[in-house]
Amino acid sequence: MKSDKKEKKRKISASGIIILLGVVAVCVALGFFIRIQVGSRESGSSASEIEKAFRERVPFADVESATQAAEEDTDSEPAETSLATLELDGHSCVGLLRVKGRDMSWVVEDIGGTGKVLPCLISGTPSGGSCTIMGADEDGMFKELENVAVGDEILFTDVYGTTTAFTVETSGTIEESQMNPTDLNLFCEKSMGRAYLVSCSRKK
Protein backbone atom coordinates (compact mmCIF):
# COMPACT_ATOMS: atom_id res chain seq x y z
CA MET A 1 0.00 0.00 0.00
CA LYS A 2 2.81 2.35 0.96
CA SER A 3 4.73 1.41 -2.17
CA ASP A 4 1.65 2.29 -4.27
CA LYS A 5 1.47 5.72 -2.66
CA LYS A 6 5.18 6.28 -3.28
CA GLU A 7 4.74 5.23 -6.89
CA LYS A 8 1.86 7.67 -7.32
CA LYS A 9 3.92 10.46 -5.79
CA ARG A 10 6.78 9.69 -8.16
CA LYS A 11 4.40 9.79 -11.13
CA ILE A 12 2.86 13.08 -9.95
CA SER A 13 6.32 14.52 -9.36
CA ALA A 14 7.52 13.45 -12.82
CA SER A 15 4.36 14.84 -14.43
CA GLY A 16 4.85 18.12 -12.59
CA ILE A 17 8.44 18.41 -13.80
CA ILE A 18 7.40 17.70 -17.40
CA ILE A 19 4.62 20.32 -17.22
CA LEU A 20 7.01 22.84 -15.66
CA LEU A 21 9.58 22.24 -18.40
CA GLY A 22 6.87 22.65 -21.03
CA VAL A 23 5.76 25.96 -19.53
CA VAL A 24 9.37 27.20 -19.43
CA ALA A 25 9.88 26.19 -23.07
CA VAL A 26 6.72 28.02 -24.14
CA CYS A 27 7.77 31.15 -22.21
CA VAL A 28 11.23 31.11 -23.80
CA ALA A 29 9.74 30.69 -27.29
CA LEU A 30 7.21 33.47 -26.64
CA GLY A 31 9.92 35.79 -25.36
CA PHE A 32 12.07 35.10 -28.42
CA PHE A 33 9.11 35.76 -30.74
CA ILE A 34 8.26 39.04 -28.98
CA ARG A 35 11.90 40.11 -29.17
CA ILE A 36 11.98 39.48 -32.93
CA GLN A 37 8.71 41.36 -33.47
CA VAL A 38 9.80 44.34 -31.37
CA GLY A 39 13.17 44.43 -33.10
CA SER A 40 11.49 44.32 -36.48
CA ARG A 41 9.14 47.18 -35.54
CA GLU A 42 12.05 49.23 -34.17
CA SER A 43 14.01 48.71 -37.41
CA GLY A 44 11.01 49.73 -39.50
CA SER A 45 10.36 52.79 -37.32
CA SER A 46 14.01 53.83 -37.46
CA ALA A 47 14.08 53.43 -41.25
CA SER A 48 10.91 55.54 -41.56
CA GLU A 49 12.34 58.29 -39.37
CA ILE A 50 15.60 58.31 -41.33
CA GLU A 51 13.70 58.55 -44.63
CA LYS A 52 11.62 61.44 -43.29
CA ALA A 53 14.81 63.27 -42.23
CA PHE A 54 16.43 62.55 -45.61
CA ARG A 55 13.45 63.95 -47.52
CA GLU A 56 13.46 67.08 -45.35
CA ARG A 57 17.15 67.79 -46.01
CA VAL A 58 17.57 66.71 -49.65
CA PRO A 59 16.02 68.82 -52.46
CA PHE A 60 13.63 66.81 -54.64
CA ALA A 61 12.36 67.71 -58.08
CA ASP A 62 9.11 66.17 -59.32
CA VAL A 63 9.56 62.66 -60.72
CA GLU A 64 9.29 63.62 -64.41
CA SER A 65 11.83 66.45 -64.10
CA ALA A 66 14.15 64.25 -62.08
CA THR A 67 14.01 61.53 -64.73
CA GLN A 68 14.73 64.02 -67.49
CA ALA A 69 17.71 65.43 -65.55
CA ALA A 70 19.05 61.92 -65.07
CA GLU A 71 18.90 61.24 -68.80
CA GLU A 72 20.73 64.49 -69.56
CA ASP A 73 23.43 63.80 -66.93
CA THR A 74 24.05 60.33 -68.37
CA ASP A 75 24.96 61.87 -71.73
CA SER A 76 27.11 64.74 -70.48
CA GLU A 77 28.93 63.79 -67.25
CA PRO A 78 31.46 61.06 -66.38
CA ALA A 79 30.41 58.41 -63.87
CA GLU A 80 31.19 59.06 -60.21
CA THR A 81 33.47 56.63 -58.40
CA SER A 82 32.07 57.41 -54.92
CA LEU A 83 29.03 59.09 -53.41
CA ALA A 84 28.70 61.96 -50.96
CA THR A 85 27.03 60.98 -47.68
CA LEU A 86 24.54 62.52 -45.29
CA GLU A 87 24.81 61.51 -41.61
CA LEU A 88 21.40 60.65 -40.17
CA ASP A 89 20.91 58.95 -36.80
CA GLY A 90 24.34 57.32 -36.97
CA HIS A 91 23.94 56.14 -40.57
CA SER A 92 26.00 57.41 -43.53
CA CYS A 93 23.26 57.75 -46.14
CA VAL A 94 24.09 58.07 -49.85
CA GLY A 95 20.64 58.40 -51.39
CA LEU A 96 17.01 57.38 -51.71
CA LEU A 97 15.62 54.59 -53.91
CA ARG A 98 12.05 55.01 -55.15
CA VAL A 99 9.75 53.02 -57.40
CA LYS A 100 8.05 55.49 -59.71
CA GLY A 101 4.28 55.65 -59.29
CA ARG A 102 4.27 53.28 -56.31
CA ASP A 103 4.49 53.79 -52.56
CA MET A 104 7.86 52.05 -52.22
CA SER A 105 11.08 53.77 -51.17
CA TRP A 106 14.25 53.11 -49.16
CA VAL A 107 17.09 55.28 -47.88
CA VAL A 108 20.40 53.64 -48.84
CA GLU A 109 23.40 53.49 -46.51
CA ASP A 110 27.01 53.76 -47.70
CA ILE A 111 29.40 50.82 -48.08
CA GLY A 112 30.11 49.33 -44.67
CA GLY A 113 26.51 49.38 -43.45
CA THR A 114 24.96 46.22 -41.99
CA GLY A 115 21.92 46.17 -44.27
CA LYS A 116 19.75 45.39 -41.23
CA VAL A 117 18.10 48.79 -40.70
CA LEU A 118 18.74 50.36 -44.11
CA PRO A 119 19.68 48.77 -47.43
CA CYS A 120 23.39 49.38 -48.01
CA LEU A 121 25.62 49.98 -51.01
CA ILE A 122 27.84 46.97 -51.72
CA SER A 123 29.72 48.16 -54.78
CA GLY A 124 29.69 50.77 -57.55
CA THR A 125 27.57 53.91 -57.85
CA PRO A 126 24.18 54.38 -59.55
CA SER A 127 25.51 57.03 -61.95
CA GLY A 128 27.80 54.67 -63.88
CA GLY A 129 29.03 51.10 -64.19
CA SER A 130 27.45 48.31 -62.17
CA CYS A 131 25.92 49.15 -58.77
CA THR A 132 24.77 46.63 -56.15
CA ILE A 133 22.58 47.41 -53.13
CA MET A 134 21.70 44.82 -50.46
CA GLY A 135 18.96 44.84 -47.84
CA ALA A 136 17.50 42.46 -45.27
CA ASP A 137 14.38 40.39 -45.87
CA GLU A 138 12.48 41.99 -42.96
CA ASP A 139 9.47 44.24 -42.39
CA GLY A 140 10.28 47.84 -43.29
CA MET A 141 13.27 46.73 -45.36
CA PHE A 142 13.76 44.99 -48.71
CA LYS A 143 10.86 42.60 -48.01
CA GLU A 144 8.84 44.77 -50.44
CA LEU A 145 11.36 44.04 -53.16
CA GLU A 146 9.27 41.04 -54.23
CA ASN A 147 6.50 43.47 -55.23
CA VAL A 148 8.71 45.23 -57.77
CA ALA A 149 7.71 44.19 -61.30
CA VAL A 150 9.51 43.97 -64.63
CA GLY A 151 9.07 47.32 -66.42
CA ASP A 152 8.88 49.36 -63.19
CA GLU A 153 11.02 52.49 -63.10
CA ILE A 154 13.50 52.79 -60.22
CA LEU A 155 14.81 56.23 -59.26
CA PHE A 156 17.94 56.82 -57.18
CA THR A 157 18.37 60.34 -55.76
CA ASP A 158 21.71 61.23 -54.15
CA VAL A 159 22.28 63.70 -51.30
CA TYR A 160 22.54 66.61 -53.77
CA GLY A 161 19.13 65.83 -55.26
CA THR A 162 20.49 64.43 -58.54
CA THR A 163 18.37 61.52 -59.78
CA THR A 164 19.37 58.55 -61.93
CA ALA A 165 16.62 56.45 -63.52
CA PHE A 166 16.57 52.68 -64.17
CA THR A 167 14.15 50.18 -65.69
CA VAL A 168 13.56 46.79 -64.05
CA GLU A 169 14.59 44.01 -66.45
CA THR A 170 14.23 40.88 -64.27
CA SER A 171 13.13 39.94 -60.77
CA GLY A 172 12.97 36.66 -58.86
CA THR A 173 14.68 34.26 -56.47
CA ILE A 174 18.09 32.95 -57.54
CA GLU A 175 21.14 31.21 -56.12
CA GLU A 176 23.53 33.92 -54.90
CA SER A 177 26.28 32.32 -56.98
CA GLN A 178 24.18 32.97 -60.11
CA MET A 179 24.09 36.74 -59.65
CA ASN A 180 25.37 38.55 -62.75
CA PRO A 181 26.15 42.29 -62.50
CA THR A 182 23.86 44.72 -64.32
CA ASP A 183 23.56 48.52 -64.14
CA LEU A 184 21.66 48.25 -60.85
CA ASN A 185 21.27 45.12 -58.71
CA LEU A 186 18.91 45.16 -55.71
CA PHE A 187 18.87 42.02 -53.60
CA CYS A 188 17.96 40.60 -50.22
CA GLU A 189 19.41 37.37 -48.88
CA LYS A 190 17.14 34.41 -48.31
CA SER A 191 17.91 31.09 -46.62
CA MET A 192 20.02 28.26 -48.06
CA GLY A 193 22.30 30.54 -50.09
CA ARG A 194 19.47 32.05 -52.12
CA ALA A 195 18.58 35.70 -52.76
CA TYR A 196 15.74 37.72 -54.24
CA LEU A 197 17.23 39.83 -57.02
CA VAL A 198 15.90 42.77 -59.01
CA SER A 199 18.13 43.60 -61.99
CA CYS A 200 17.81 46.97 -63.71
CA SER A 201 19.24 48.78 -66.72
CA ARG A 202 20.08 52.48 -66.71
CA LYS A 203 17.69 54.60 -68.79
CA LYS A 204 19.28 56.05 -71.91
**What secondary structure, in 3-state letters, does 109-149 show?**
ECCCCCCCCCCEEEEEECCEEEEEEEECCCCCCHHHHHHCC
Residue 164 lies in a domain: yes
Q: Which of the four pLDDT bands, split at 50, 70 and 90, describes residue 28?
A: very low
Closest among 77, 56, 48 to 161, alpha carbons compared: 56
Residue 99 lies in a domain: yes
CATH number for the domain harbouring residue 197: 2.40.260.10
What is the arithmetic mean of pLDDT over 175-189? 83
Give the domain range for residue 150.
51-202
| Three-state secondary structure string covering the chain | CHHHHHHHHHHHHHHHHHHHHHHHHHHHHHHHHHHHHHHHHHHHHHHHHHHHHHHHHCCCCCHHHHHHHHHHHHHHCCCCCCCCCEEECCEEEEEEEEECCCCCEEEEECCCCCCCCCCEEEEEECCEEEEEEEECCCCCCHHHHHHCCCCCEEEEEECCCCEEEEEEEEEEEEEHHHCCCCCEEEEEECCCCEEEEEEEEECC
Residue 125 near residue 119 (C-beta atoms within 8 A):
no
Higher-confidence position of 28 and 71: 71
Residue 70 lies in a domain: yes
Residue 22 lies in a domain: no
Residue 204 near residue 74 (C-beta atoms within 8 A):
yes
Q: Which of the four pLDDT bands, split at 50, 70 and 90, describes residue 10?
A: low
Residue 9 lies in a domain: no
Higher-confidence position of 32 and 144: 144
Number of domains in the chain: 1
Residue 169 lies in a domain: yes
Residue 181 lies in a domain: yes
Q: Kindly report, residue by residue over 115-174, the tens digit of the pLDDT.
A: 778 899 999 998 878 999 998 776 556 778 889 999 999 999 999 999 999 999 999 888
Decide if pLDDT at 60 tops 80. no
Residue 62 lies in a domain: yes
| Measured CA angle at 77 (ends 73, 79), to 5 deg | 100
- Taking the model in full, what pTM does it have? 0.69
Residue 96 near residue 119 (C-beta atoms within 8 A):
no
Decide if pLDDT at 194 tops 90. no
Q: Kindly report, residue by residue over 61-105, the tens digit of the pLDDT.
A: 554 444 554 455 544 444 455 789 999 988 899 999 999 999 899
